Amino acid sequence: PPYRVGVIVGSLSRESVNRRLALALQRLAPPEFEFFEISYADLPLYNRDLDTDYPQAALDFKDAVRSADALLFVTPEYNRSIPGALKNAIDWGSRPWGQSAWTDKPTAVIGASPGQIGTAVGQQSLRSTLSFLNARQMTTPEAYIHFTPGLIEADGEVTVASTEEFLRMFMAKFLEYTARVLTVIPQA
């Protein structure tokens, strides 16, 4: 397939509903996409004193981000923002100054919550960070998934037809968006 998408799941939980959502999105994606997960659980806490001597885990993380043609963020909302571990990873990817891995990457943002507004506020927080980092963002369609029990099985199978159709459409749009960005903006 022509496009490799790095998947960044914002939850470290073994029971994560966002991980289920990420699996569902991969199952429903067009064949032009292939996926790999970018993990960040082993990163230390970001400290700018380490900018001159980046830890190997952070170098590996940045390489993984750079190697992706596009990035799919699938994240919960924590206290009306994004989880700290995810923000920590984004910070590592953005430094040292002038060497950010996020610049011009085509990105999509989606999330699931048992709460009624389904990560809308957390996604806005992520979007302002991605804006500052000069990542490209698919701005529509937006996707706020209200996660009810059984909506997505552990293997990523979606049990509600209208949700399945919506997620399929979301990934088709993300493919269109990625193709457009990569045509217009030469990647580093």
Residues that bind ligand FNR (CB under 6 A): 11, 13, 16-18, 76-80, 113-115
Pick the closer one to ligand FNR by CB: 78 or 177: 78
Q: Taking the mean position of all CA atoms in its chain, how far away is CA 171? A: 13
Give SS3 for 35. strand
Q: Are 156 and 27 in contact (CB under 8 A)?
A: yes
Pick the closer one to ligand FNR by CB: 47 or 79: 79
Work out how close the CB of 176 gets to ligand FNR at its nearest, in angstroms, rounded to a whole number. 27
Residues 6+ apart with CB under 8 A from 158: 24, 28, 151, 152, 164, 167
Pick the closer one to ligand FNR by CB: 120 or 179: 120
Work out how close the CB of 95 gets to ligand FNR at its nearest, in angstroms, rounded to a whole number. 25
Pick the closer one to ligand FNR by CB: 41 or 184: 41
Work out how close the CB of 80 gets to ligand FNR at its nearest, in angstroms, rounded to a whole number. 5
Q: In angstroms, what CA-CA distances link 163 with 26, 133, 144?
A: 14, 31, 11
What is the number of helices (H) and of strands (E) in the chain? 5, 6
Residues 6+ apart with CB under 8 A from 98: none
Work out how close the CB of 76 gets to ligand FNR at its nearest, in angstroms, rounded to a whole number. 3
In three-state form (DSSP H/G/I as H, E/B as E, the rest C), the secondary structure along 118-151 is CCHHHHHHHHHHHHHCCCEECCCCCCEEECCCCC
Work out how close the CB of 63 gets to ligand FNR at its nearest, in angstroms, rounded to a whole number. 26
Pick the closer one to ligand FNR by CB: 69 or 77: 77
